[in-house]
Structures are given as structure tokens and as C-alpha cells.
Amino acid sequence: MSAQNGIKRVTVPEIRARKGGEPIVSLTAYSAYSARIADSYCDFLLVGDSVGMVVHGYDSTLPVTVDMMILHGQAVVRGSKHALVVVDMPFGSYEKSPEQAFSNASRMMSETGCGAVKLEGGAEMAKTVRFLARRGIPVMGHIGLMPQYVNSFGGFKTQGRRQSDWPRIESDAAAIAEAGAFALVLEGIVEPLAAKITHDLFIPTIGIGASNQCDGQILVMEDMLGFGDSVAKFVRRYSNLEQQYGEAIKHYADDVKARTFPGPNETYAKLDE
């Protein structure tokens, strides 16, 4: 992405080069407003398919479409100037074949102006990652707890609790890295396994519920800001904006009912001469 007003976008090679260096900071963003607030603090912003649950009220990410991701991706790109913008490829948009993935990923990049896409999957998606990377589409991988696999997993379950599962998860990580992904999200993975994968890989890992041993961290912005009643164990709430929103809206409603809003300072009372 090009510089805007002298501010240079973080690039994919810069994220890749942060392996083992200063931790990479990331949050999800779904709107121009949230992107503008988070932009100067984050190295990359993820337009996650979690938008389906957070913004659209779905029970999972599965109903999210390419058109929805493009719409929100456009907003985040417009609202940001500094952070690399990565857009999730939604369920059903890349699994059929590498060619299907390229068609949808190239459309998402060209229509949003984002700098990379993210897709879920382990060794089974390595061929697709390689196909995209060799054709100029930067790919961020995602293994461990994969929301698009929620039906296969039988729910949102922590991965790696049994050490017998470690070789499979490590193999998935290695396959995606070797296929050409520039970074890899590790979600819901037990700490010792996440630390081992991070040590073994030559690309940065981005943790979400995978310990501070990863090369960076990401959270859903609404979770860390205090929206919603139920959050995962790995979320730290840095504010309680849902309560503050509720209090502000109640105050507004009370003022409307009492006819104290709008008041003299919010009313156009003077007539033109």
C-alpha cells in the first residue's frame, strides 16, 4: 500500500522480518472508525470473519461471505494509514481448489486495497498457500483452534491438550510456513506447544490464546474493550465500554423524555433578519 500524508504502511516483508524481534501488535477491525482508532498502535489490522458474530449477530463465522469481507475490508483500509490490513477469506471461498482461492483472494485484494489475506487450515491447505504466494498474494496462515472448523471440532476447543496431538499440529505449522505464508496465527493452543512451534518456525507466529511466547498477539477489539457477556479465558478486558455505552444512552433517553435535550445550545433558535 502506498503512503498517505507521509505515513508509510507496514508491509508484509516488515512483518516477516519481526520474527524473534519486537512483538507484533494486532487487533481485529471491521469499520473505518475502529480502524482509525487502532491504526497508530497496531502493526497490522485483521478484518476477521469474526465480523459475522461481532457485527452481524451470527452464532459462528460460517455464514460470512466474500462480499461481506470486501465491504468491511474497504472500510478498514479507508480508516487506516499505518497498519498493514489483512482480510480473512471466509468459509467456502478457498477450500475447493487453489484456483478458487486465487479468484476470490485476488478480488478481495483488488476491491479493498488490503495488503494480504488470511486463511485457515494446516497441511491440507499448503498447496493453496503455495499457489497464492507464488502469484503475488501474501498469505497469513491460521492453525490450532480454527473457527471455520467448529463443526468438525465439536465446538471451540483448546488444541494440544494431549501431547499425542502435537506432531499433527506441528506438521500443520511447518507445512504452511514452508508453503510460503509470511506469518501464522496460533489460536487456542496450549502454551508449551505454542512456544515450541514459535521456536521452530522461521516465520512469526501471532498468538490468540497461545501464550506470550508467540512473536505477536491479536485479540478481537470488541472483546478487549469489554463488549459482550461471555469471552474466552485468554481475553484480557482493558475497558468496559458496553457499560459506558449503556449509561450514556440511558442518560440521553432520560434527557429526551424530560425535554432537556436538545437545549438552548443545541437548538437553532434565531431567525434570519
List 46's β-bridge partners, or say none: 28, 86
Q: What would the pLDDT profile of 56-104 be if each residue is shown by its tens digit?
A: 999 999 999 999 999 999 999 999 999 999 999 999 999 999 999 999 9
Give CA–CA dist 125/139, Å, rounded: 11
**Average pLDDT, whole number, for the chain?**
93
Q: Using an 8 Å Cβ cutoff, are 186 and 122 in contact?
A: no
88 has binding-site annotation:
yes
| Confidence category of residue 48, pLDDT binned at 50, 70, 90 | very high
Give CA–CA dist 87/114, Å, rounded: 7
Given 22, 95, 170, 187, the catalytic residue: 187
49 has binding-site annotation:
yes
pLDDT at residue 151, rounded to an integer? 53
pLDDT at residue 145, rounded to an integer? 85
59 has binding-site annotation:
no
Residue reference for cell 487450515: 121
Q: Using an 8 Å Cβ cutoff, are 87 and 111 in contact?
A: no
| Confidence category of residue 1, pLDDT binned at 50, 70, 90 | very low
**Domain segments of the chain: what residues?**
12-239
239 has binding-site annotation:
no
Q: What would the pLDDT profile of 124-161 be if each residue is shown by its tens digit?
A: 999 999 999 999 999 999 999 876 665 555 555 788 78
Give CA–CA dist 66/93, Å, rounded: 7
Q: Could you confirm whether 187 is annotated as catalytic?
A: yes
**Topology (CATH level 3) of domain 12-239:** TIM Barrel (3.20.20)
**Considering the entire predicted model, what is its pTM?**
0.93
